[in-house]
Chain A
Amino acid sequence: MEPLIEIRNLKVHFDRVRAVDDVSFDIPRGQTLGLVGESGSGKSTIGRSILRVQNVTDGSIRFHNGAEPVELTTLRGQRLRDFRRHLQLIFQDPYASLNPRMTVRDIISEPLTANGLVRDTNQVNQRVQAMARRCKLNVEHLRRFPHAFSGGQRQRIGIARALVGHPEFVVCDESVSALDVSIQAEILNLLMDLQQELGTTFMFIAHDLSVVAKISSLVAVMYVGDIVELAPTRNIFFAPKHPYTSALLSAIPRINPSANFQPVKLPGEVPNPAALPPGCRFQTRCPHARERCRNEAPAWREIDQDHFVACHFAGELALRGADDSLPAQALN
């Protein structure tokens, strides 16, 4: 898989709080990387670091467009402003993220004009209308203000705004979590269609694991500032190698719970990111923790092709995935 973005040893610290603590991974071009983990695990901080709205403490973010890769962490001034056209964000709350005093046409056109991509008004209008149509918005309504639209329509306005300038990379931070289920499916379909048409690379941050499974080609699982597992979606969901991933999957409420359905109970609380335990950061709650886990932090290694994990005993443990039609013993 050809990477669009290579992240190496990324660290974002807020005083003693290690929000992102030495993370390395690639985001493949034209695909969607899902990022899951509990609140406070550092998902949004990674997204914001790539968008350069968050300063990083250390590490490298290399962006491959054109012949020479660009190091994002050191871009400054005009070069950074010029680069911003390649990066976009789709927000969580469609009510808070649209300026109520701008018309929908002005909202959607802003990335084109602010980044100086298109200067001619007719061309701006054409681009806005074309993107609005793609996002299934009625072009007759572009002169209206956001308050006239429902939540689902507003989120489509937010998507049109993010994609109108054809950015290479878009972070969707909980972009469907505020929507009703009947609307959510439509927005997910729209994002998948637009990716196919435009070849956009997405980073999809969400706490709803079923949604992430649907939209992502790869999934990374975070736990208190570190990615503990990253693999193609099917592997993460049906052959997880990290005990934390397995515990997360077991906790998804099932519509058709089988007799084997049993959430793994993690004892204790998530550790304070300013005072992490020694060794593996998951050892205080891990049902499989042994002596080695308490002393030595596990290395980040590729256990299978494209399947990365940070666990001393990955591959040796019998872990169950999201498929609980099988009893636990039948796996591995």
Chain B
Amino acid sequence: MAEVAIQTDTVSAEPILDVQNLAVSFRSDEGRVRAVVGVDFQAHRGKTLGIVGESGSGKSVSTKAVMQLLPGNAVIEAGSSIHFQRSEGGPVDILTLGKNSPAMRAIRGGDIAMIFQEPMASFSPVYSVGNQMTEAIRLHRAVGHREAREIAVEMLGRVGLSNPATQVNQYPHELSGGMRQRAMIALALSTRPALLIADEPTTALDVTIQAQVLELMGELQREFGMAMIFITHDLGVIAQIADEVAVMYLGTIVERGSVDEVIRNPAHPYTQGLRAAIPDLSSIEGRLIPVGGDIPNPLERPRGCPFHTRCPKRIPGTCDAESPAVTTLSPSHSVRCYLAQ
């Protein structure tokens, strides 16, 4: 009996999404661009994983791989795996499914939903918001047209639109930016996904609307118990919404851990540099401390630690020779850096 109890316990702590050793490269005229280089991350029910990174860090590519939304010139390297626990039908390795297979189409938008930075680009301009929502709901849930429409109106109300019964008939251009972003969240959540991937969902929004959207996402997460992956370049947003954070640089996770540990006590020189470069309201006078240097061209990926070309603490002969292994600093904090070893 005890054994059974232990087993059920481990099952509930099992991640809903388990990405192992994911490597993605792109074929281009100038050669092979390695966008993601052996990345592991997990998403848990009711929890939010924040992924922080700048342009070219591979944060969007990693999550698009989960949705099988990568463009045709992308190659997922052998040895990568993306295990997902479907709510019906048990665990699957997403990478073994065809891009357009029935299972993948059921997962994409059904079990896993995604929202993007620019809501105008994610809605079709020629159909009303309600039309697009009912289409998605009926694709993924066994309901009739009328019921789907009721769900759509209810979800628009849940995300705080003032007059959902009217707004459901409006076209995307008739809504303001903040309303559109909330309508997109309603669309994504109307299929009751087990995992929501949000790629810079608040970056284009004004601060007051950003605050509303973040609070709303937290509320809906608590209500539906879904797992969330939140991609952003803003450490302030991460501090507010995430439980765990992974910091990416040039296709590698350089540091990860609980938000408290990584943001309060960053161990990687890149995370430390990012923190110092952000203007802080507690010291508004004086100069900023830039990270220095530029993000390398992805075609000329540096040898060794990817950050060594900009790192103020690099050890010549070590950091530029071999990529550092993961060092565990605490049960919930790890870093890839020779200085931590």
Contact = CB atoms under 8 A, between A and B. Distances in A.
A16 interface: no
A154 to B, nearest CB: 11
Interface in A225-276: 233-234, 237, 247-248, 250-257, 263, 265-266, 268-270
A269 B162 contact: yes
B179 interface: yes
Contacts of B176: 269-270
Interface stretch (B19-27, B32-40, B131-139, B209-217): B209-217
Interface string A190-212: 00100000000000000101110
Given A213-B279, A254-B236, A255-B278, A189 B290 contact: yes
A53 B176 CA distance: 26
Interface stretch (B63-71, B280-288, B312-320): B280-288
Given A185-B288, A253-B236, A210 B279 contact: yes
B234 interface: yes
A222 B204 CA distance: 18
B236 A255 contact: yes
Contacts of A184: 277
A180 B54 contact: yes
A263 B215 contact: yes
A128 interface: no
B279 A253 contact: no
B208 interface: yes
A152 interface: yes
A183 B239 contact: no
A265 B212 contact: yes
Contacts of A192: 287
B300 interface: no
B294 A153 contact: yes
Contacts of A252: 207, 236, 281
Contacts of A150: 294-295, 297
B273 interface: yes
B35 to A, nearest CB: 16
B291 interface: yes
Most chain B CB within 10 A, of A153, A183, A268, A323, is at A183
> What interface size band does chain A fall in?
35 or more
A182 interface: yes
A181 B55 CA distance: 10
Given A180-B55, A181-B233, A251 B208 contact: yes
A211 B239 CA distance: 18
B54 A182 contact: yes
Interface string A16-42: 000000000000000000000011000
A111 to B, nearest CB: 26
A248 B179 CA distance: 18
Contact of B239 (A39, A188, A213, A254): A254
A58 interface: no
Interface string B211-245: 11011000000000000000001111101100000
Contacts of A82: none
Contacts of B291: 182-183, 185-186
A181 B289 contact: no
Nearest to A244: B208
B206 interface: yes
A135 interface: no
A322 interface: yes
B206 A39 contact: yes
Interface size class of B (residues with CB under 8 A): 35 or more
A232 to B, nearest CB: 11
A253 B240 contact: yes
B264 interface: yes
B120 interface: no
B275 interface: yes
A207 B206 CA distance: 7
Interface string B79-118: 0000000000000000000000000000000000000000
Contact of A186 (B233, B264, B278, B292): B292
B87 to A, nearest CB: 32
A57 B209 CA distance: 31
A181 B234 CA distance: 8
Given A210-B281, A270-B176, A251 B210 contact: yes
A151 interface: yes
B282 to A, nearest CB: 8
B326 interface: no
A184 B235 CA distance: 14
B51 to A, nearest CB: 15
A214 B276 CA distance: 13
B210 A182 contact: no
Contacts of B207: 207, 209, 248, 251-253
B274 interface: yes
B177 interface: yes
Contacts of A209: 207
Nearest to B53: A180
Contacts of A186: 288, 290-292
Given A182-B54, A188-B288, A211-B279, A266 B208 contact: yes
23 contacts: A150-B297, A180-B55, A181-B234, A181-B274, A182-B295, A184-B277, A185-B290, A186-B292, A207-B207, A209-B207, A210-B278, A210-B281, A213-B284, A214-B284, A247-B208, A251-B208, A253-B207, A254-B236, A254-B240, A255-B236, A255-B263, A263-B211, A323-B281
Interface of B: 54-55, 162, 176-179, 206-212, 214-215, 233-237, 239-240, 263-264, 273-275, 277-282, 284, 287-292, 294-295, 297, 310
Given A151-B55, A185-B288, 20 more contacts: A39-B206, A150-B297, A153-B294, A180-B295, A182-B295, A183-B291, A185-B279, A189-B290, A209-B207, A210-B281, A211-B279, A213-B284, A234-B284, A253-B207, A253-B234, A253-B237, A254-B236, A263-B211, A263-B215, A269-B162
